[in-house]
Structure 1
Amino acid sequence: MLDGGHARPALGRAGQREHGELRVARPGRGEGGAGRPETAASLPAAERVRVVQELTRDGEVATQVTSRLLQRPRVAREAMRDDDTRFTVNRAQFDNSEQTRDKVRERMPAVRRIEHTIEYLDLVGSCHSYVATLGRLVPRMRGQEFTDDERETVRRGIAKVRGAAD
C-alpha cells in the first residue's frame, strides 16, 4: 500500500510487510500472525470474493491489488488458466506496447521513416517470394489436368492476391 504516495518498505517483523504480504500479529497466534481474522474465516468463499470486489471498485486500488496478487506465482498461474483473463492481460500488454511505440514515434520522427523502410522491404520481399514460388511450381504443373473446382480455387486465389495488392 502507499503511505503518503510512497511504497512502504518490506520488513520482516509482525505488523509489517514481508515478501509482498502483510503480516499482522494477532493475540494468541504468536509473532508470525499466520492466521486470518475469525470473521473472514467464517464467511463463505463467494462472500469473501464479493467483499474484495467491493473494496476494489476504485481503479487505483484495484490496480495495486491486482498487481500484487499477480506477483504470487501460484495466483498468476491459476489466473492465466482462465481464457478471458489471459485474453484481457494480453490485450493490455499489446495496448501498452502500442502506446509506447506511439510515444517513441512522436519524439523521434526518424523511427517512423525506419518503420516505413522495413515495411517496404517486407512488401518487396513478399512479392519476390511469391514470384519465386510460382516460378518453381508453374513449370512443374504444366500439362497436368485440373478439375473445374481446382481451376476456380486458383482463380479465387489470384483474385485475393490482386485485391491485397491494391
Structure 2
Amino acid sequence: MIPAPLPTVVNGQRRGSSRALARRSAAVLTPRLTEAETSLLPITPGVLNTPRHFHVSSVVNRQSITRHGLDWTRMGAARGITGSRRPEVEGIFVCRDEDVSFFLQINNTGGPVDGWAVDDVDGASLLDNGNGFFHLSERIPAARIRLVRSDVPAQ
C-alpha cells in the first residue's frame, strides 16, 4: 500500500498535498528540458528517471551559487525556500523536473527565486529527509549546475 502524501504546511496554513500542489502549477512553472538537452545527457539508472535534478534558491544567492556551487554551509544571505534561516539538513535539496513547481509555489524566501539544473546526480546518493523530499549530503560544485529559471516571483 502506498501511503498518502503528507499535507504541506506553510506559515501554519495547510496547503494540500505536495503532489496535488505540484500538479496544479506544473504547466506554468516547471522548466522543461529540450529534446536536444535530454538526448545529450546520459540517463543513469536509479536517478529517479530524470537525467537532471533541480534546486530552487533565492535570487540573493545567485552570485554565491555561481561562484561556489551549492553549499549549505554558506547559507545565511537569504532564507531557505521554506523560510528557514538555517539549513534544515546538512545537504542540498534537489528535485525532479516535475516537482520544481512545488518548490516555486512554497517559496517563503521573501522574494523571487532561481531554478538551477543539477547534473550528474547519483540516485544512490539521494537521501529522504523523512517527508519525501530528497537531498544530497555533498556540496555541488559550480561546474555541475546551470541557471535555468531566474527571478521567478513569489506566489
Interval of TM-score (by shorter of Structure 1 and Structure 2) = under 0.3
Which is richer in strand?
A: 2
Tell which has more relative contact order, 1 or 2 (C-alpha 8 A, sep 6+): 2
TM-score (norm 1): 0.16
Q: If you compute each CA radius of gyration, which structure gives the higher value, 1 or 2? A: 1
**Which protein has the bigger helix share?**
1
